[in-house]
Chains A and B, each alone.
Chain A
Amino acid sequence: SQQGEEDPQALSIQEGENATMNCSYKTSINNLQWYRQNSGRGLVHLILIRSNEREKHSGRLRVTLDTSKKSSSLLITASRAADTASYFCATDPIQGAQKLVFGQGTRLTINP
């Protein structure tokens, strides 16, 4: 089963609004990464947050990590039509297979 579970599965908002996506995972991790995927194309790395960090910013992106709750959130502020994409969290588990484990993703639609 997937390590990361995104919530919601789909989100539709108006341009200019903020979008928040959540990711929950099951086992202890070294780091958590967020990726964006435009329809049927490759993934683009957005941000990496390590297990000893609580919050990171990159432009209009803000990521938080709560290791006690095994959850992370991605906030996109002042959304734009170009932000329409699927967003995935990927976790790097401390134990088990040494691979990134992706969640099922959140499909974000920004309406003009």
Chain B
Amino acid sequence: KAGVTQTPRYLIKTRGQQVTLSCSPISGHRSVSWYQQTPGQGLQFLFEYFSETQRNKGNFPGRFSGRQFSNSRSEMNVSTLELGDSALYLCASSSLSGRSYEQYFGPGTRLTVT
């Protein structure tokens, strides 16, 4: 099976802009989780979608949002970008709702905000 894919792999944006990241899970997986990774804060959970419904949400401001489509592909959107949003954004898929099962991670999208 093909692995988790994320697009784009690299992105440079300016403060105040918005950005949309995409994640395609492993075929048959219905759960997609998003994480933000920074050197200072480490890996932090953003949200999880399962069968097009947001199941869980981390402690991030409302500027961070996401959705999942009927084919399980997911997008996350960050509006009004801030310098602190610069990070590696990782998505992970699992066959069932994520936390008790192994998660398969994509390569990540490296977002740089200038």
Using a CB–CB distance below 8 Å, which chain A residues touch chain B? 2, 30-31, 33, 35, 40-45, 48, 88, 92, 97-105
Neighbouring B residues of A100 by C-beta, 8 Å: 33, 45, 98-99, 103
The range of chain B's interface size is: 20 to 34
Using a CB–CB distance below 8 Å, which chain B residues touch chain A? 4, 33, 35, 42-45, 48, 55-56, 58, 88, 90, 92, 98-108, 110
- B56–A97 contact, CB under 8 A? yes
User: Which of A41, A44, A102 is in CB contact (< 8 Å) with B108?
Assistant: A41
- B105–A30 contact, CB under 8 A? no
Neighbouring B residues of A33 by C-beta, 8 Å: 102
- A45–B88 contact, CB under 8 A? no
**13 A–B contact pairs at CB < 8 A?**
A30-B99, A31-B100, A33-B102, A40-B110, A42-B4, A42-B105, A45-B105, A99-B33, A99-B58, A99-B99, A102-B44, A103-B42, A105-B42
- A104–B98 contact, CB under 8 A? no
Neighbouring B residues of A98 by C-beta, 8 Å: 55-56, 99
